[in-house]
Structure 1
Amino acid sequence: MAQASGAYLVGDYAGALLHAERAAAAGEARGATLAGHIKLHGLDGEPDDRAAVRWFTRAAERGEPDALIALSRLAQAERGGLSAWQAGDYLDRAAQTGDARAALEYGLYLMESGDPARASDTLDWLRLSAESGYAQAYSEYAIALDQWVHGPHDPARALDWYERGGLAGDPHAALQAGLLYLSGEAGAQDQAHGAELVEMAAEMNLPAAMGQTALLYFQGEGVPADPARAVSWAQAGARAGDAESQFLLAYALATGEGAAVNRRDAYLWVLRAGQPGQGSLAEDSDRAQLEAALERVLDPAVAAQVREQAILTAADF
């Protein structure tokens, strides 16, 4: 098997396949799995789903979780002669081996199936994956505990897993943990720690977290009020397409709080915040009021130019 792995790493896929097949013949499940991947991706020539399925099946017979996961994905796509109904069985077998990644995959599969009768099993598999230290499971388990329609809707239980997910590098989990600490919704209000987690998510380049961080610095919530720092985060989020950030930047440019007054640019950003799209503030009354106020003070010709610019650059955000 070492020869197969070595050949694979240097790009000698024909050699890797030869050695993988020999390892499989000697009873090495990982050899059959590697041969399956080579065939699946056509690394030795043309992709061959059916050959891949044969090799993965050989490895799966020896309880190899990676092969079982591969078979489940092929089954879901109905490739290689497999049927979608087989996917769950493959993932069940993979999870039963104790593999943390397989437990996560099976939990997500059950979650997606939407069967309320399997809700307890779903949570158990996600919990087992998370408790085994598989970082990718942290935020998934938190979401299941907190937001899943068939879950317990228990933010208090979810909070620790959101935070672990954030510390493991998931910005969405860090943001959610931060918001829960800030609001006290999970029963453990800590505004300073919440603000720290929200800014961590912003530093991981999550646009929505940039807007939230800007708001915290404008309001002095969990952090000392710092309008200049707020504007810096609002600028970053606005350029990344976050509507909340765009509105906050428009507000700063209109009022001079943390930035030099520039009503033309303020009008441009408030228009962008109201453009259609995910997270749009089109129906937000504060945004609408700022837009109307800026229209009253701008020269009509300038306002028309800015409206045209906002439309022409809409696709950039």
Structure 2
Amino acid sequence: MKIILWIVAISFLAVRPVLAGNDRTVRLLSDGYSIVEIQKNANAGDSQAQFSLGYAYAFGKNLPQDYEKAAFWYRKAAEQGFAPAQCQIAVAYVSGAGVSQNYKRAAFWFDKSARQGDSSAQYYLGLLYTQGIGVPQNDETAVFWLQKAAHQKYRAAEYDLGNAYYDGKGVLRNGEKAMFWWQKSADQGFAAAQFRLGRAYYWGDVVAQDQKVAQAWIKRAADQGHAAAQYDLGSAYYQGAGVPQGYEKAVFWWQKAADQGYAAAQFNLGNAYYQGAGVPQDYAKAVFWYQKAADQGYADAQFNLGDAYHDGEGVPQDYAKAVFWYQKAADQGDAAAQNNLGVAYARGAGVPQDRAKAVFWYQKAADQGDANAQYALGNAYYQGAGVPQSHEKAVFWWQKAADQGFVAAEYNLGVAYLKGQGLAQNKGSGKLWLQKAADKDDEAAKEALQKLSH
């Protein structure tokens, strides 16, 4: 089983459609203006009333929710130059709410609204330029609009502007400015910025490393439901990094993130149940969470799920299902899964025996430095199993594994030196490798050394 991995969570940009009114809209709908009056004024051409009517339809405020009618009235107001309505009809074109999705039309209306100073439109227009959606991709133009919105204290824009300075996209890379804008956004309670700020302090990235400050910011984000922050906070408690070590608290936060579908947290939660760390040991629950993460393509969970089926822990033993999950992980380049897949083909466990395929997967894993696979590949060459026999290649791969302290390879390498198989005979080197194996309580190595001493 693979146990805990510290995963760097990555935040990424996305157009996040919002539907929001302004202060006057809220007053129109709640402070003495009847929906009938708003409809009358909208039909008379009042752009504010048209926008308010669109808002009412969008949110089902005093009217049945109807996105098509919402878009109709937003467009009416937008065509009269009402900036909030221009932003909202643009959002509708992005999301396809009440209109056919059309990113070029969205960009057109965001631009109209942004040029009138609407901070939401400026932000979303910046995102479109960042991603090249509806407009040609242009990092410099993206930063221009993000700056416009950030200077109006639009917290998502402050966060993304920090990202731009950190990555050097559209501006010269500047860690101090990245921290400045992340801090601005975090101080306004933006969870993604709080998380990013915490990670900067955790790694000492563009700021002096400070574990306590890191976890304080990460906790703020976690308390708002930020899944990656919840995962990281759980990992911090598991490791005792910036907070007192506590497996129960680690499990508490991983559970929060896992319940949101965060695959790394699901994997770690599975490990917690497998080990009995912070929760009573329960192989069935471990498998439950491995399955959740594996279904999302998380390679380590796929490997552990394969192990569970292979060993019959938490599920009935099933070599075919073990191979299925090892294959999934192996196809993603997981070396341990590639080795186990090789073992399955070598033994015919869950698949028809095929020594050539065994060697194929051993080679994949061995090339990544997996000592088990290097040892097995050496054995295959020694025996001529699935490959032409070659003592020289056998020794080559045993040496690779032995250099990593793999005891069986140390023994085989020692014997090869003593016999002069695959390399020049050298009794001194042979004894050296046998002693390394014997020091690890390898009985065969101890016996061989004893015979040599007589």
TM-score above 0.5: yes
**1:5 aligns to what?**
127
* Matching of residues 164-183 of structure 1 within 5 Å: 164-183=292-311
Report how far residue 224 of structure 1 moved.
Answer: 2.4
On the 8 A contact 1:163/1:173 being kept in 2, the answer is yes
**2:174 aligns to what?**
47
Report how far residue 151 of structure 1 moved.
Answer: 5.2
**1:28 aligns to what?**
154
Q: Distance in 1 between matches of 2:260 and 2:362?
A: 38
The one of 56, 59, 63 aligned to 2:182: 56
**2:240 aligns to what?**
113
Amino acid at match of 2:261: G
- Rg larger for: 2
Q: Distance in 2 between matches of 1:46 and 1:56?
A: 14
Q: TM-score, normalised by structure 1?
A: 0.79
On the 8 A contact 2:327/2:337 being kept in 1, the answer is yes
On the 8 A contact 1:267/1:291 being kept in 2, the answer is no
SS at match of 2:389: coil
Report how far residue 60 of structure 1 moved.
Answer: 2.3
Q: Distance in 1 between matches of 2:201 and 2:313?
A: 41
**1:212 aligns to what?**
340
Q: Which moved more, 1:157-166 or 1:71-80?
A: 71-80
* Matching of residues 135-174 of structure 1 within 5 Å: 135-147=263-275, 150=278, 152-174=280-302
Report how far residue 116 of structure 1 moved.
Answer: 6.8
Note closer, same or farther for the CA distance 1:13–1:54 as it changes in structure 2 (3 Å cut): same
Q: Distance in 2 between matches of 1:241 and 1:78?
A: 30
1:143-175 deviations in Å (ceiling 9; x for gaps): 333348555443332222223333323322211
Note closer, same or farther for the CA distance 1:185–1:66 as it changes in structure 2 (3 Å cut): same
SS at match of 1:58: helix
SS at match of 1:245: helix
The one of 386, 390, 398 aligned to 1:270: 398
Q: Distance in 2 between matches of 1:240 and 1:106?
A: 31
Q: Distance in 2 between matches of 1:248 and 1:197?
A: 21
Amino acid at match of 2:419: R
Report how far residue 202 of structure 1 moved.
Answer: 1.9
Note closer, same or farther for the CA distance 1:99–1:232 as it changes in structure 2 (3 Å cut): same
**1:296 aligns to what?**
419
1:9-65 deviations in Å (ceiling 9; x for gaps): 46755544442233234452211112222344455235142x434432332243311
What is the RMSD of the two structures over their aligned residues, measured on CA atoms? 3.1
Q: Distance in 2 between matches of 1:84 and 1:241?
A: 33
Q: TM-score, normalised by structure 2?
A: 0.58
Amino acid at match of 2:248: S
Report how far residue 94 of structure 1 moved.
Answer: 0.8
Q: Distance in 2 between matches of 1:128 and 1:227?
A: 45
Amino acid at match of 1:64: F
**1:131 aligns to what?**
259
Q: Which has the higher contact order (CA 8 A, sep 6+)?
A: 1
Gaps in structure 1 of 5+ consecutive residues: 308-317
Q: Which moved more, 1:195-204 or 1:288-297?
A: 288-297
Note closer, same or farther for the CA distance 1:203–1:15 as it changes in structure 2 (3 Å cut): closer
Q: Distance in 1 between matches of 2:175 and 2:200?
A: 12
**2:227 aligns to what?**
100
Report how far residue 295 of structure 1 moved.
Answer: 5.2
SS at match of 2:158: helix
Report how far residue 97 of structure 1 moved.
Answer: 1.6
**2:95 aligns to what?**
none
Report how far residue 197 of structure 1 moved.
Answer: 1.1
Q: Distance in 1 between matches of 2:162 and 2:387?
A: 59
**1:260 aligns to what?**
388
Note closer, same or farther for the CA distance 1:298–1:130 as it changes in structure 2 (3 Å cut): same
Gaps in structure 2 of 5+ consecutive residues: 1-122, 430-454
Q: Distance in 2 between matches of 1:82 and 1:202?
A: 36
Q: Pick the structure with more helix per residue.
A: 1
1:62-121 deviations in Å (ceiling 9; x for gaps): 331111111212333285589542222211221122222222222222222266774333
**1:315 aligns to what?**
none
* Matching of residues 168-247 of structure 1 within 5 Å: 168-247=296-375
Q: Distance in 2 between matches of 1:289 and 1:45?
A: 56
Note closer, same or farther for the CA distance 1:238–1:84 as it changes in structure 2 (3 Å cut): closer
